[in-house]
A = this chain, B = another copy of it.
């Protein structure tokens, strides 16, 4: 079932490990087949060294396992919440990557200090508020997704324009058109986070990049008249 998606989600999971974003089992990637509404996701706590495409779990948008003998990632309800709220995303990843997680732990958005980040999103990478005690105790993973969705709605952010965020006390989530794009966005988030820490160390009073440069970079890569990359 969903063999192509299964292979792509498998590769996205491996990419998180190969790029150093995921240590041990601290991460997961999923992808959705919008026609059937089925999600392929990493099984919970399985060692990446033995993970094979056949181990991935297929769940529906109610979180019910449709195929697979292993438990899906414990973060599955977060992935599902995002897929249900945002029709234009096709993949989601979650990691505890070092620099992204450090911003999450500090409860600080990743400031937009340069064109590397402006190529990715047109402003700071959001830091989502901490969950309340009630949210944690009722449906922790589902409410994690809802807190992200709420933040994007309240600040009128488009998910594909800001394809990643850090969750206070927790770590990064990222998403994209598909699972591999989500993994790539996770790498971008981690690397701009590292450069942001260093930039502030070099000049504590540094200001965000001027809006006209951000706009130029974002548009040349993602705008209607984008000229970065191939046609």
Task: Please state if A45 and B229 are interface contacts (CB–CB under 8 Å).
Answer: yes
Q: In the complex, A116→B191 CA distance in Å? A: 19
Asked if A136 is at the interface of the complex by the 8 Å CB criterion, the answer is: yes
Q: Which of A186-206 contact B (CB under 8 A)?
A: 187-188, 191, 194-203, 206
Known: A131-B213, A133-B212. A116 touches B103 (CB 8 A): no
Report the nearest B residue to A214, measured CB to CB: B169
Task: Please state if A114 and B108 are interface contacts (CB–CB under 8 Å).
Answer: no
One complex includes copies of this chain to the number of: 4
Q: Which residues of B contact A228 (CB under 8 A)?
A: 44-45, 74
Which one, B104, B133, B191, B220, contacts A98 given CB within 8 A?
A: B191
Q: List 10 A-B contacts (CB under 8 A).
A: A23-B191, A43-B230, A44-B229, A98-B195, A98-B198, A101-B116, A105-B199, A130-B213, A136-B213, A169-B213
User: Taking beta carbons and an 8 Å cutoff, which residues of A are in contact with B?
Assistant: 23-26, 43-46, 70-71, 74, 96, 98-99, 101-108, 113-116, 130-131, 133, 136-137, 140, 169-171, 184, 187-188, 191, 194-203, 206, 209-210, 212-213, 216, 220, 227-231
